[in-house]
Every structure is written in structure tokens, then in C-alpha cells.
Amino acid sequence: MATLLDGKIMAAQLMEGLKSRVNTLKEKGISVGLAVILVGEDPASQVYVRNKGKACEELGMLSETILMPAQTSQEELEALIEKLNADSRIDGILVQLPLPRHLDEAKALRRIVPEKDVDGFHIENAGKLFTGQEGVIACTPKGIIHMLKEANVPLSGKHAVVIGRSNIVGKPIAMLLLNENCTVTICHSRTENLSAHTRQADILVAAVGRAKFVTADMVKPGAAVIDVGINRVDGKVVGDVDFENVEKVAGHITPVPGGVGKMTIGMLMENTVEAAERKAK
Ligand code: NDP
């Protein structure tokens, strides 16, 4: 039976450490602030934004949630981002995605000054990751590496297979695993004979968005299986991995909920605290 990589426990430990870093900054008279912009009324986004606010509160950080109507124009959104760029109380700016269709996501994200881009989605931070320079790393992939390291899963020289090639999960996690000296294979919807690839994985990351997509026969015995997926089935949140059966084969496994998602928020907080620490310097 696989060892559970418990995101709740790991995130709680991370938050403890962050709390003391926030206090250290406060003692120097420096506050830490995160601004979250939510455009429209997507119910899932509202939940995510609320959870981010709660995490800020837990750490004693300033949290500002700006709700904008669904018909907000590109100009209005970018003007707000500019205002937050100039606001010294704000260390991190997050635009909750997805934005309503009429808005240009990439253009809006480019408006955030890279130092305050705590999601790590700005083209400059993505470019830094790809060229091996220090920058802000996207929260979900950063959280996955944290979990693997906390559990002492060997990475160097191991074969990591990532299913998914999005800019926010698939590509950055592949790059981070490469930086950890894994041999990395990236699979996607056009990959032929997917299970032949996944069965070779010592570390298997599923970021597909399809419930129970990864079945036990696709997993090498003893592999570390990281389930990034968030899917709603009959009102319940489930991952991309058929947990019940895969846990019998894998060496390590993350649950959904209570796995990668928990770490994502923790890493958002860490990126914001790091931004404030840079400001303090
Ligand atoms: P995207 O939809 O952007 O990407 C999904 C990827 O899966 C694509 O690259 C796609 O390939 C690939 N894919 C789709 N079908 C198949 C298939 N049959 N075989 C192989 N590959 C396939 O999603 P995201 O990367 O944004 O998110 C993935 C999942 O992770 C979602 O469930 C999302 O909700 C969740 N998520 C969870 C987070 C967390 O904190 N836990 C954070 C972010 C996302 P192609 O490129 O060819 O289309």
C-alpha cells in the first residue's frame, strides 16, 4: 500500500514556518500583503479566492480581495493592476483565472510587475524558470517538488513522466523535475500509447483534468504518483487518478482533496512572503 503524501499536514507545517517569517518582518515594521483580483462570479473561483483570504488571515498578512463585475473591460483590469503595482502595502498580486472570455489573460498577467507576480505566470518568471535563473515559481509545481522532497522521494536520475503540458502545471513541473536531474517525459492528448510511457515512470504527475484517468495498470509498482487534477463528479471533488486501485500499486500517492491543492495555497503564501522579504532587503 502506498505511503500517503498528505498535503494537509505538509501545508500546516509550511504555514507554521511562514507565520514566524511574517512575524520577523513585522518586528522590522514591514507588513506582508496579497491582493487577489476576481473578475465575474465563477463559483469555483469564489471558493479559491476565499481560501486564499483565509490563509492570509491565518498568517497575519494583509489580504485585499477586489471583486470586479463580469463585464469589466481590459483597460479597467489593467488600470487596477497598475494601481496595485504601485501600492507599497501589496507584495503579491494574483489575478484569479480563468478570466471572462472577452479579456486577454496573457496581456493582463504581463501587466503585473514580475516581483509581485506571486503566481509565477508572468512571461519573465516563466522565462527565468526555463533558463535556470532565479525567479518566482508557479505555486502548484513548486508545491509538488516540496511534497516529493518532504517525503524523501529520490529524484536525481529517476524517470519522471508528466501527463499534461499546460503553462500553469505541465510545462513548469516538467522543468522543475528536469532541474532536479530527473529524466523527463511530457505526455499530452496526442501522445501515442500513453500507458507505455507512464509505466516507465518512477514519478508520475497527472495534470489532465479527467476523473480516474490514471488507472492501476498505467503505474509502475513503487512509483510516486502525484495527482494534480480537480474534477467534480456528482458534487464530489476527485482527482485524475483512480486512487482506490492505484494506491495498491504505487509507492507514494497524493490524495484529492487534501493533496496538491493544499500545497498550492501554501506556496502562494510562501511566494508572497518571499516577495516581502525581497522588498525588505
Ligand atoms: P489544461 O486543460 O490546461 O491541460 C490539460 C492537459 O492534459 C493538456 O496538456 C492536454 O493535452 C492533456 N490531456 C487531455 N486529455 C488527455 C489524454 N486523453 N491523454 C493525455 N493527455 C491529455 O489543464 P491544467 O493543466 O490547467 O489543469 C489540469 C488539472 O489540474 C485540472 O483538473 C485542474 O483543475 C487541476 N489543477 C489543480 C491545481 C491544484 O492546485 N491542485 C492547480 C491547477 C490546476 P493537450 O495539450 O494535447 O490538449
Q: What is the pLDDT of residues 199-242, one digit of tens each?
A: 999 999 999 999 999 999 999 999 999 999 999 999 999 999 99
Mean pLDDT of 30-59: 96
CA of 166 to the centre of ligand 1 (A): 6
Ligand 1 atom nearest residue 256's Cα = 41
Ligand 1 atom nearest residue 231's Cα = 32
Q: Residue 37: what pLDDT?
A: 98
Non-local (6+) Cβ contacts of 221 within 8 A are 249, 250, 251
CA of 174 to the centre of ligand 1 (A): 13
% of the chain surpassing 90 pLDDT: 99
CA of 82 to the centre of ligand 1 (A): 31
Ligand 1-lining residues (CB < 6 angstroms): 140, 163-166, 168-170, 187-191, 194, 207-209, 228-231, 260-261, 264
Q: Using an 8 Å Cβ cutoff, are 229 and 213 in contact? A: yes
Ligand 1 atom nearest residue 165's Cα = 9
CA angle 260, 189, 172 (to 5 degrees): 40
Q: Whose CA is nearest to atom 19 of ligand 1?
A: 189
| Distance of alpha carbon 281 from alpha carbon 141, whole angstroms | 26
Q: Residue 186: what pLDDT?
A: 98
| Residues with catalytic function | 52, 96, 119
Q: Residue 66: what pLDDT?
A: 97
Mean pLDDT of 251-263: 97
Per-residue pLDDT tens over the stretch 85-105: 999 999 999 999 999 999 999
CA of 234 to the centre of ligand 1 (A): 20
- Give, as one character, the DSSP assignment of residue 137: P
Alpha-carbon distances of 214 from 87, 103, 105, 240, 244, rounded to whole Å: 45, 34, 30, 6, 11
Three-state SS for 187-244 is ECCCCCCHHHHHCCCCEEEECCCCCCCECHHHCCCCCEEEECCCEEECCEEECCECHH
Mean pLDDT of 132-140: 97
Ligand 1 atom nearest residue 169's Cα = 25
Q: Residue 64: what pLDDT?
A: 97
